Amino acid sequence: MANSSERRLPRLEDVAERAGVSHQTVSRVINNHPNVSKSTRARVEAAIAELGYRRNTAARSLVTRRSHTIGVLASELSQYGPANTLLGVEQAARDAGYFVSIAAIREVGAEAISDAARHFMDQGVDGIVALVPHTGTLQALEELNLNVPVVVVGSSGEGRFSGAMVDQTMGARLAVGHLIEQGHQRIGHISGPQDWIDGAARADAWRAALAEAGLADDLFVEGDWSAGSGYSIGQKLAVERAATAVFVGNDQMALGLLRAFGEAGVRVPQDVSVVGFDDQPEAGYFTPPLTTVRQDFEELGRSCVDLMLRLLEDGAAAGTTVVEPQMVVRKSTAPPSDASVPA
C-alpha cells in the first residue's frame, strides 16, 4: 500500500474524468472562460473541490510561455484611492489565476517609471497595470515602447494603451448637481493636487457644472488630499463665510474641513453644506455623516484585470472601461438657510 508521500497529486485529467467533461472544458473553467454553461462550471468546480486539485503553475508556464504574473506599477499608496484600487487589482488577478508583482514608486518621474518597467521585464511579466495617478505617466510609458500589454488606471485609453477609470467628471457633476438642486448658488471646491489626473478632472467638472448653471467658480482652493490640508483650508473658509456649500475633492479633506468648521462654530449643514468624494468606510460616521460620491475600487480592479486578460488573449488594444460612481446622500447637505446666504 502506497504511503502519503508516494500518492500523486490530482491532475487536470482526473478532474475531467470525475466531472465527466473534457480536459479542455476543465481548463476553460479554471481560466474563467465565458463559454462554459453554469451547470458544467458547477460540476467541474465540485470535482476540483472534491479532489483537492491545484494547478501546477510552473508546468503551465512552460507550456503557455507565460509567467501568469501581472506587474503593477503603483505610487501614492498612502492615499485611500490608490491603495484600494491596488487591492482590487490584486484580488481580481488572483481570482483569474494570476500572480501580482508590485513596484511601488516613491518619487514619480520618468526615470522611476523606467526603472520599475525594466524590473518587470526582467521578471518576464505578461503585462503591466500602471496605477500612477499623475498626468505625466502616459508620456513616460509611451517613451519606453514596452512589448507587453499595458493598462493605465485613470486613463481614457489614449495612444497605445488601454485604460480603466472611474468617471471622475460624472462623479463631480453628481456632487455639484446635488448642491445646485438643494438651492446653493455659492459652491466652493477644495480640490486635490492638480498634477493628479483625478484631481484635475474633478476640478474641471466642478467649473463646467457651475458654468452651465450660470454660477461663479471663484471659490477654489487646492489641497493635498490630507485631512490636515482640509483642516487648514476650513479655518480660512470659516472666517470668510463666502460659500453656502463646499464640494471637497476627497473624504479625508472633508474630515479636516468638518473639524475646522466645528471648532469655529460653523454648523453643517445648517450654515454650510459639505460633499466629499470616495465614500471611504468611515464617511458614514463623520459628524455629521458625510454626503459623498462613491467610487467602486473593487469593480475598478476587476475592470483592469479583465482588460489585461482581453489584451493577452486578443493581442489588440481593448480601449477603455469606465466605472460609474454613485451619489451617497447623508446628513452633511441641506438647502441653504437665509442666515447662510452671503449678503
- Listing DSSP states for 210-232 in one string gives HHHTT-----EEE--SSHHHHHH
Q: Judging by DSSP bridges, how do beta strands 326-328 and 245-248 pair with one another?
A: unpaired
Q: What pLDDT was estimated at residue 72? A: 94
3-state SS, residue 168: helix
Residues 227 and 304 in one domain: no
pLDDT exceeds cutoff 50 at 343: no
Task: Calculate the alpha carbon distances from 297 to 96, 155, 302, 317, 330 in Å.
Answer: 17, 15, 9, 23, 21
Q: Are 73 and 101 in contact (CB under 8 A)?
A: no
Q: Is residue 118 part of a domain?
A: yes
Q: Is residue 38 part of a domain?
A: yes
Q: Is residue 89 part of a domain?
A: yes
3-state SS, residue 163: strand
Residues 148 and 101 in one domain: yes
Residues 287 and 175 in one domain: yes
CA 309, 34, 324: angle at the middle one, nearest 5? Answer: 65
Residues 317 and 303 in one domain: yes
pLDDT exceeds cutoff 60 at 144: yes
CA 107 to centroid of chain Cα atoms: 20
Q: What pLDDT was estimated at residue 65? A: 54
CATH number at residue 242: 3.40.50.2300
Angle at which helices 23-30 and 38-51 cross, to 10° = 90
Q: Is residue 332 part of a domain?
A: no
pLDDT exceeds cutoff 50 at 6: no
The neighbouring-strand residues paired with 323 are: 166
pLDDT digits (tens, 9 = 90+) for 39-48: 998 999 898 8
Residues 162 and 300 in one domain: yes
- What is the mean predicted confidence (pLDDT) over 284-308? 93
Residues 267 and 197 in one domain: yes
pLDDT exceeds cutoff 90 at 8: no
pLDDT band at 28 (very low <50, low <70, confident <90, very high): confident
Task: Calculate the alpha carbon distances from 110 to 132, 155, 318 in Å.
Answer: 11, 17, 25
Q: What pLDDT was estimated at residue 274? A: 98
Q: Is residue 32 part of a domain?
A: yes
58 is written with which cell numbers?
A: 510552473
Q: What pLDDT was estimated at residue 333? A: 98
Q: What pLDDT was estimated at residue 108? A: 80
pLDDT band at 34 (very low <50, low <70, confident <90, very high): low
CA dihedral 143→146→149→155, nearest 10 degrees, is: -20
Residues 130 and 230 in one domain: no
Q: Are 74 and 131 in contact (CB under 8 A)?
A: yes
Lowest mean pLDDT among 27-36, 228-237, 241-250, 266-275: 27-36
pLDDT band at 267 (very low <50, low <70, confident <90, very high): very high
CATH number at residue 43: 1.10.260.40
pLDDT digits (tens, 9 = 90+) for 182-212: 999 999 999 999 999 899 999 999 999 999 9
Element spanning 101, H or E = strand 99-105
Q: Judging by DSSP bridges, how do beta strands 127-131 and 162-166 pair with one another?
A: unpaired
Q: Where are the alpha helices (DSSP H) in the chain?
A: 12-19, 23-30, 38-51, 57-64, 80-95, 110-123, 137-142, 168-181, 197-212, 227-240, 251-264, 297-314
Q: What pLDDT was estimated at residue 100? A: 92
Q: What is the DSSP letter of 283?
A: G
Q: Is residue 199 part of a domain?
A: yes
Core vs surface per residue 189-223: b (16+ CB within 10 A) or e: bbbbbeebbbbbbbbebbbebbeeeebeeebebeb
φ/ψ of residue 26, rounded to 5: -60, -40
pLDDT exceeds cutoff 80 at 149: yes
- What is the mean predicted confidence (pLDDT) over 109-119? 88
Q: Is residue 161 part of a domain?
A: yes
Residues 145 and 102 in one domain: yes
Q: How many domains are there within the chain? A: 3
Residues 173 and 240 in one domain: yes
Task: Calculate the alpha carbon distances from 311 to 29, 73, 168, 185, 189 in Å.
Answer: 19, 18, 25, 46, 38
Please list, in sequence order, all residues whose beta carbon lies within 8 angstroms of the beta carbon of residue 40, skipping any fewer than 6 positions away: 19, 21, 25, 29
Quote the domain boundaries for residue 78: 67-166+296-325
Q: What is the DSSP letter of 280?
A: -
Q: Is residue 341 part of a domain?
A: no
Residues 179 and 260 in one domain: yes
Residues 245 and 261 in one domain: yes
pLDDT digits (tens, 9 = 90+) for 161-175: 888 899 999 999 999
Please list, in sequence order, all residues whose beta carbon lies within 8 angstroms of the beta carbon of residue 44, skipping any fewer than 6 positions away: 15, 19, 21, 25, 26, 29, 36
- Listing DSSP states for 173-212 in one string gives HHHHHHHHHTT---EEEEE--TTBHHHHHHHHHHHHHHHH
Distance, CA of 335 to CA of 93 (rounded, Å): 44
Residue 308's CB is within 10 A of a number of other CB atoms, namely: 27
pLDDT band at 25 (very low <50, low <70, confident <90, very high): confident
Residues 265 and 287 in one domain: yes
Q: What is the DSSP letter of 284?
A: G
